[in-house]
Amino acid sequence: MNSTYLHDPSFKKLIAVLFLLLLNANLAQAQAVAVKPSANLGTPEQRTARYFESIRRSPPQMLAFLLRMPKGGDLHNHLSGGIYAESFIQWAADKKMCVNQTTLALTPPPCDPEKGLTLVSNALTNGLLYRQLIDTWSMRNWQPGPLPGQNGHDHFFDAFAKFGGATTGQMLSEAVARAAKGQVSYMEIMLTPASAQSTPLGMKVGWDGDFAGTLKKLKSNGLADAVAEGIKALQQAEAEKDSLLKCGTPQADAGCKVTVRYVAQVSRGAALGVVFAQMATGFALANDPNSKVVGVNLVQPEDALPAMQNFSLQMEMLAFLRPLYPQAHLTLHAGELAPGSVPPAGMRFHIRDSVLKAQAERIGHGVDIMNEDDSYQLLKEMARRRVMVEICLTSNDVILGIRRAQHPLATYLQYGVPMALATDDEGVSRSEISREFLKAAEDHGLSYPQLKAMARNSLEHAFLPGKSLWADTVRFRPVPVCASIAAKSCQQYLANSEKARLQWQLEEAFAQFERQLPK
């Protein structure tokens, strides 16, 4: 090289630029080498949390992650609303049922064309009718309109009167199969057992305001028979479900492994005699050791006239019956109200009375919590009592229009009120449990540890017998005897508690999940 170049300013500048580029390349290589091992630092949960944050801007990747994530339990799942319309169409077609071509409601045969009726099976070859049925029986393609029945609330609740044609066993098989695919290991499914017995029993006995007297009349007129029929009907439905899913065979569906319990529904919009009879039947079922019913809940629109008029009385009914059936649990739809749906006075006490008067152990929805009288004190009391809130984000969105920052999820979180995500009516809402977790992450910014805590909460607050795995249900520290799963004392502890066993299985599922992050 000619030495004169060494004194050329341009050449010196070029050398300096090349040196900086080389230096930056070496630094980048060193950083890459340094970053690679750091990705393996921390606990498996911490590494999983970092990965989840790295894909936060990609909802499709988050969904793929959440589809694999263990969910624990789905504690708020209505059986009739949990079935997709496509299944109801097929089942109704198999039974040769009819559909009204104007209202799109199912009717039994014969299918008289002069009355506007046609076989449901025609929808299987008529694309337009098929689409119309799905859109009418669910929230698919729903758009708001100016007329009554064209809002999400009315379209949703009106749908239930239009579909059907299935056995309880068929519906159970779909519900648990879908739950298993969503990594759910436990379900509390809401249905109305012994409705064919408890409803006419309540109509016969009626209601005169005498709690003890009415219960005595129900017992003398066949309450025990209604309970026996309810147990028998659920056993038959489970046998059909097991047969459809091939449980106990090498071809068994994963849904066979989902542990299922039931919550007895009470139609809060019915006549008071029927409401009390359904309550008494539900409590008696949940108190019976031969029954898989574990609790009671009030259903139907909370803003409907009978529900608003009789809310306080129905809380008194529950408060009377609960001590008489000590093994029964209580979870209540409360605060499923949006501003304007009822007068302001109607939003000031439903959650409070459900928690303090009826002594509910869990609350479903609770979206109007900040409209309650002394709402901050109520939040603190719910946190102190560990009253869990069943959070149903998609349902609150499509029915009430409550979404994102309007939803009180962040407030419950701030005040330490335990929460768990649930599906509510996933078939009608066109959702499923993994999408509820995605909605919590997307719309509310929940982290992986927060989602994991919700999954753990679902089993901690499940109506299952036995002691909890957790000595600390906030930080999720295990009881001392289960500091090591290998300890004989822990094995005995798990053997004596169905709840703790399911909780331990969830922890094992989390451990496996956190070891298998995408590469």
Q: What is the 3-state secondary structure (H, E, C) of 467-487?
A: CCCEEECCCCEECHHHCCCCC
Position 33 in a domain: no
Domain check: are 154 and 225 in the same one? no
Domain check: are 116 and 234 in the same one? no
Show which of 138, 159, 180 is a domain's final residue: 159
Domain check: are 236 and 344 in the same one? yes
Domain check: are 192 and 128 in the same one? no
Position 512 in a domain: no
Position 30 in a domain: no
Instruction: Identify the pLDDT of residue 13.
Output: 53
Instruction: Identify the pLDDT of residue 40.
Output: 66
Amino acid at 57: R
Domain check: are 279 and 399 in the same one? yes
Instruction: Identify the pLDDT of residue 9.
Output: 53
Domain check: are 205 and 106 in the same one? no
Position 306 in a domain: yes
Lowest mean pLDDT among 19-23, 177-181, 185-189, 501-505: 19-23
pLDDT in tens, 117-174: 999 999 999 999 999 999 999 999 998 877 765 799 999 999 999 999 899 999 999 9
What SS3 class is residue 149?
Answer: coil
Distance CA 121, CA 104 (A): 13
Query: Distance of CA 105 to CAs 99, 117, 203, Å?
Result: 5, 10, 27
- Tokens encoding 119: 């076989």
Distance CA 477, CA 233 (A): 40
Position 145 in a domain: yes
Domain check: are 413 and 320 in the same one? yes
Domain check: are 140 and 254 in the same one? no
Domain check: are 138 and 75 in the same one? no
Domain check: are 394 and 411 in the same one? yes
87 pLDDT more than 80: yes
Position 323 in a domain: yes
199-202 contact pairs (CB < 8 A, 24+): 199/270, 199/274, 199/277, 199/278, 201/226, 201/277, 201/281, 202/270, 202/271, 202/273, 202/274, 202/275, 202/276, 202/277, 202/278
Position 276 in a domain: yes
- By CB atoms closer than 10 A (0-12, 13-18, 19+), residue 194 is buried
The residue that leads in pLDDT, 32 or 183, is 183
Q: Which string of DSSP letters, residue by residue, matches 205-249?
A: H---S-HHHHHHHHHHTTHHHHHHHHHHHHHHHHHHHHHHTTTTS
DSSP state of 94: H
Instruction: Identify the pLDDT of residue 495.
Output: 96
Position 492 in a domain: no
Q: What are phi and psi of 465, to 5 degrees?
A: -75, 155
Show which of 115, 130, 159 is a domain's final residue: 159
CB atoms within 10 A of CB 234: 22
Mutual angle of helices 44-54 and 59-68, in 10-degree steps: 150
DSSP state of 181: H
Distance CA 394, CA 365 (A): 11
Report strand pairing: 98-100 vs 117-119: antiparallel
Instruction: Identify the pLDDT of residue 145.
Output: 76
Give the chain's domain count.
2
pLDDT in tens, 456-469: 999 999 999 999 99
Check: CB of residue 336 under 8 Å from CB of residue 316. no
Check: CB of residue 94 under 8 Å from CB of residue 119. no
Distance CA 454, CA 266 (A): 27
Residue 324 CA, chain-centre distance (Å), reads 28
Amino acid at 325: Y
Query: For residue 145, what are the domain limits?
Result: 84-159
- Using the Cα atoms of residue 489, residue 494, residue 500 and residue 503 in order, give the sign of their dihedral: positive
Show which of 128, 159, 190 is a domain's final residue: 159
Q: Give the CATH number for residue 289.
A: 3.20.20.140
Instruction: Identify the pLDDT of residue 149.
Output: 58
pLDDT in tens, 193-206: 999 999 999 999 99
Per-residue b or e along 240-265, where b marks 16 or more CB atoms closer than 10 Å to that residue's CB: bbbebbebeeeeebebbebbbbbbbb
Instruction: Identify the pLDDT of residue 186.
Output: 98
Domain check: are 309 and 179 in the same one? yes
Report strand pairing: 293-299 vs 329-334: parallel
Domain check: are 153 and 196 in the same one? no
What confidence category does residue 23 fall into, taking pLDDT thresholds of 50, 70 and 90?
very low
CB atoms within 10 A of CB 273: 20
Lowest mean pLDDT among 179-183, 198-202, 446-450, 483-487: 483-487
